[in-house]
Amino acid sequence: MYEKEVTEIFHEYGLQVGSCKYSDVAFSKDTSDYKTVLTTIVPYWFEPKQAHNISIYSILPDYHIVVGEMLKSICEKLKAVFPDNIFEPHVDVSPVNEKKAAVLGGLGFIGKNTLLINEKYGSFLFIGDICTDAEINLNSSISKNSCKGCDLCREACPGKALDEGFCSEKCISFLTQKKGILTEEEKNILQRSDSVWGCDICSLFCPHNRNLPISEYALKYEDKMIYNIDKELLDGLSNGEFKRKFSDRAFVWRGISVLRRNLEILNARNEKDPV
């Protein structure tokens, strides 16, 4: 019932949508009244116009905010169709496994690098979900495509995080966001890249990410891109000032000290091995 209206609401925002049962993807067997998860993906691929030391997604304004507002707007429209039901949006922090929900919703498959890969948009995707107590079945079919198994992501990973499944402690993206003092082994892994925040290496080597369309989402924020974090950008800022100045950026999440630490680690490598 109303499946067509639900799909059309997402299409108004240029988004695909899939559905699955909440119980199939919930992290815990809670007493929630949720019955359905509506999952969508927001592609963000673009060709960076200059060298950068942060992950491509973080060059753009914080997706938690932008996609979150988009989902809130969608929820309002869904409530107009289902006035007696609850619609709760989530981006990244969710009571469900968003990647599994996206797969069950027919939005892609999981690659060897553990990322969701969409047939058209590759793995440069933001995932969002809406949990509802309404029973909505969009008749989503699981993708017949799958990871090519070429091992290019595994071979390209500087930390060898994909050699035996996935080891987050060897993943550069994880290490750039980890708080506290890094071990010497972790520092050595970080120094194998030029990244101060995040990492795109496994995605950039993935054949599913070749010839991707440029995202309208990214083009919308072309004049708001920040490509690099350096000492000058952070100088003189307290953590509070930093978070206020860059409140619309994903890289503020762990605070200024993590970024300063990462810069120091990379600078130590450069001083030891000058070009």
Half-sphere exposure of 88 (CA within 13 A, CB side): 15
275 pLDDT exceeds 70? no
Q: Is the Cβ–Cβ distance between 126 and 42 less than 8 Å? A: yes
Cβ contact 229:196 at 8 Å: yes
Percent pLDDT > 90 in the chain is: 91
Residue numbers annotated as active site: 92
Could you tell me if residue 199 is inside a domain? no
Kindly state whether residue 255 falls inside one of the protein's structural domains. no
Q: Which domain holds residue 85?
A: 3-132
Are 114 and 211 in contact by the 8 Å Cβ rule? The answer is no
pLDDT at 257: 98
228 occurs within a structural domain:
no
Position 213 in a domain:
no
- Assigned token pair, 59: 């060059």
- Per the structure, the count of domains in the chain is 1
163 pLDDT exceeds 70? yes
Q: Is the pLDDT of residue 51 over 80?
A: yes
pLDDT over threshold 70, residue 73? yes
Residue 198 lies in a domain: no
Mean pLDDT of 29-47: 92
| pLDDT per residue as tens digits for the range 200-226 | 999 999 999 999 999 999 999 999 999
* CB neighbourhood size of 40 (10 A): 25
User: Which pLDDT score, from 0 to 100, does residue 140 have?
Assistant: 87
Check whether 188 has a pLDDT greater than 90.
yes
pLDDT at residue 166 tops 80: yes
More confident residue, 148 or 244: 244
pTM metric for this prediction? 0.93
* Structural domain includes residue 248: no
- Would the pLDDT of 273 be above 90? no
Q: Are 154 and 205 in contact (CB under 8 A)?
A: no
pLDDT for position 1: 60
As a whole number, the mean pLDDT across the chain is 95
pLDDT at residue 206 in the model: 97
Give the per-residue pLDDT at 111. 96
Q: Which of 107, 40, 104, 108 is nearest to 78 (CA)?
A: 40
Distance CA 188, CA 182 (A): 10
- The bridge status of strand 87-91 relative to strand 125-132 is antiparallel
Count of other CB atoms within 10 angstroms of residue 95: 18
> Given a cut of 90, is residue 102 above it in pLDDT?
yes
63 found inside a domain: yes
Query: Which of 24-38, 50-64, 177-191, 252-266 has the lowest average pLDDT?
Result: 24-38
User: Does the residue 102 lie in any domain?
Assistant: yes
pLDDT of residue 31: 65
- Whether residue 115 contacts residue 202, with contact meaning beta carbons closer than 8 Å, is answered with yes
CB 265 within 8 Å of CB 190: yes
Residue 89: the pLDDT is 98
